[in-house]
Amino acid sequence: MRPIQARIDLDAFRHNLHVVRAHAPGSKVMAVVKANSYGHGLLAAAQGLAAAEGFAVLGLEEGVFLRDAGFKQTILMLEGAFCASELPEASAAAISVVVHHDAQIVMLEQAALQKPLDVFVKMNNGMNRLGFRPEHYAAAIRRLSACPNVGQITLMTHFATADEAPGVDEPLARFRQVARGFDYPVSLANSAAIFRHPETHADWIRSGIMLYGASAVAGVPAQAHQLRPAMTLSSEIIAVQDILPGESVGYGNRFTATRDTRVGIVACGYADGYPRHAPNGTPVIVADHMTQTIGRVSMDMLFVDLTDISAACVGSPVELWGSRLPVDAVAEKAGTIGYELLCALSPRVPVRVLG
């Protein structure tokens, strides 16, 4: 068996949830577990986050899976129903839906349901992705409040720049103005807003990447908020090559040695989810020493520099990211974000759940 594996630490989830609560002490936590819980495994993440008041998923199948697994919390479909035929099953499983356009209101008005559905009405607040424009938002709320198939209504929006300098002042003021006069619960804050904008905490917070122990704000490491990574991706050295100055490694000769160089070949490649575009110098830990990748990442293997790690040999442990090497450090060097690396973990990588 190849030595690569991902370890998922349930205690890290519990710890990170505690950190979230400490930052937003009066808000209920909606744990975002879409995309197979950012690559961590839906069931494992839900078990680690079982104390959260709610789970946010992408589609109906994920929500029904959590209900069938025994989770009683609020479960919210973040993009709502994709077709009218999903509404009866969502109603039967007591799964809440986001409503973000008129066609979804029509679906609800025309549906035959066992019981009313709780809805989160989304306002488009500048991201121009999903949601009713501010000038149409109040009318959408009133229409939903008159629909017999609608139960509890919660008002929500999403901030495009909660993690950047523009912040949330303008969209928050716009939301408050439009929502004034409606006495419904409110959900505003994503992970970045939870840390940076306490004025957005409201009734529900939607916590995503921070629960997995990665950063929601570029340049601010997760450790700055005492977050712990829930995933560690590890492997081993499976071969060692000694090359001379002027010799190269890998496809395209992207690394050429300028000195006698010991090259470690690691059982991990882009088919496992490691980014092919990771450049020379991407950090990696081998035998408890920090070193770097060299050469182009292959489908099943990558290269690391062992020249200054005399103890490294075939079988030496390698951490690609995780408990000692933040995924955000790897992502930054590779020109992407930690979210993408975690979500890209391949199904062929064995996963071991701890705790």
| 34 in active site | yes
Please count the other Cβ atoms lying within 10 Å of the Cβ belonging to residue 342.
27
Query: What number is the average pLDDT over the span 209-227?
Result: 90
Amino acid at 30: M
Cβ contact 339:209 at 8 Å: yes
Nearest alpha carbon to residue 49 among 14, 25, 22, 7? 14
**pLDDT at position 224:** 87
In the chain, the DSSP E strands lie at: 5-9, 28-32, 54-57, 74-77, 96-99, 117-123, 150-157, 186-189, 204-207, 231-243, 248-249, 255-256, 261-266, 283-286, 289-294, 302-305, 317-321, 351-354
Q: State yes or no: pLDDT of 220 exceeds 90.
A: no
Tens digits of residue pLDDT in 246-287: 999 999 999 999 999 999 999 999 999 999 999 999 999 999
Active-site hit among 28, 72, 251, 274: 251
Using the structure block, give the residue that is written with the tokens 């993408």. 340
Look up residue 158 and give its amino acid.
H
**Quick one: pLDDT band at residue 213, thresholds 50, 70, 90?**
very high
Q: Give the residue from 346, 334, 349 showing the smallest Cα distance to 279.
A: 334
Average pLDDT over residues 97-113: 97
Alpha-carbon gap, residue 218 to 227, rounded angstroms: 15
Catalytic residue among 34, 122, 270, 339: 34
